């Protein structure tokens, strides 16, 4: 069975305005900044990354009320940015605001 699932937390660095697809589905794009310390081969490894995120549907409408700088946890999957692109984007299906870590 193939699996593509991603859970990632971070800060909304930048975000676009809510827009609608040609089919009328709400769409919100933003950049998530993530920092954490992971264990790799028994050693601590500090990781930092920025990832493009797309959210569709009602989740996009709800997330549109959240401003840049907010801490958030996302659950979704990775996909190509577009059909012919080699770049990837996280397609988030669920989110949760994080009060403080």
Predicted TM-score (pTM) of this structure? 0.89
Confidence label for 4 from pLDDT (cuts 50, 70 and 90): very high
Q: Any idea which of 11-15, 72-76, 84-88, 92-96 has the lowest mean pLDDT?
A: 84-88
Which residues make beta-bridge pairs with 56? 27
Please tell me the predicted confidence (pLDDT) of residue 100.
Answer: 59
Domains of the chain: 6-97 (2.40.50.140)
Q: What is the pLDDT of residues 32-87, one digit of tens each?
A: 999 999 999 999 999 999 999 999 999 999 999 999 999 999 999 999 988 898 99
- Distance of CA 95 to CAs 8, 56, 62, 85, Å? 10, 12, 10, 26
Please tell me the predicted confidence (pLDDT) of residue 99.
Answer: 80
Return left, alpha or beta for 4; rule: phi > 0 is left, psi -120 to 50 is alpha, else beta: beta
């Amino acid at each position: 069975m193939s699996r593509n699932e991603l859970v990632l937390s971070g800060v909304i660095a930048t975000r676009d305005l809510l827009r609608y697809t040609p089919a009328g589905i709400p769409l919100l794009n933003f950049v998530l900044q993530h920092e954490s310390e992971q264990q790799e081969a028994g050693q601590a490894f500090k990781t930092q990354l920025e990832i493009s995120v797309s959210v569709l549907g009602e989740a996009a409408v709800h997330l549109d009320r959240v401003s840049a700088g907010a801490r958030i946890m996302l659950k979704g999957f990775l996909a190509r940015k577009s059909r012919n692109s080699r770049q990837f984007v996280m397609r988030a299906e669920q989110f949760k605001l994080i009060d403080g870590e």
